[in-house]
């Protein structure tokens, strides 16, 4: 699930160290995302620690492409928890996530 409302009460605050995916992830609004991407649209990233790739929903990918610094933490499918974005590389071009 995603929301573009920063005040959505289902959103977790700060770094999430709990296991599992969050119920809801914040994304930029469709209007904001439609203003144009400053990075290529990438669809998956690999966790450096476990070498496992995680694929994301389109709205999340578009949010990264519009604002590469939007997220501080991101989810690893294999580890089933969140880590700082610097621990991940984009599958498409090997660039660090969040840069």
Q: Least Å distance between CB 83 and Zn ion?
A: 7
Instruction: Name the one range near Zn ion by CB under 5 A: 28-36, 60-68, 76-84, 85-93.
Output: 76-84
SS3 category, 83: strand
Measured distance CA(58)–CA(65) in Å, rounded: 10
19-58 binders of Zn ion (CB under 5 A): 47, 50
Nearer to Zn ion, 8 or 96 (CB): 96
Beta-strand pair 25-26/88-90: unpaired
Contact 41, 75 (CB under 8 A): no
The residue (of 47 and 82) whose beta carbon lies closer to Zn ion is 47
């Amino acid at each position: 699930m995603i929301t573009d409302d920063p005040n959505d009460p289902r959103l977790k605050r700060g770094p999430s160290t709990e296991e599992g995916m969050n119920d809801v992830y914040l994304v930029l609004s469709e209007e904001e995302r439609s203003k144009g991407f400053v990075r290529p649209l990438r669809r998956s990233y690999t966790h450096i620690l476990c070498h496992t790739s995680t694929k994301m929903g389109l709205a999340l990918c578009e949010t990264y492409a519009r604002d590469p610094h939007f997220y501080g933490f991101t989810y690893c499918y294999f580890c089933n928890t969140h880590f700082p974005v610097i621990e991940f590389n984009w599958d498409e071009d090997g660039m660090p996530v969040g840069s």
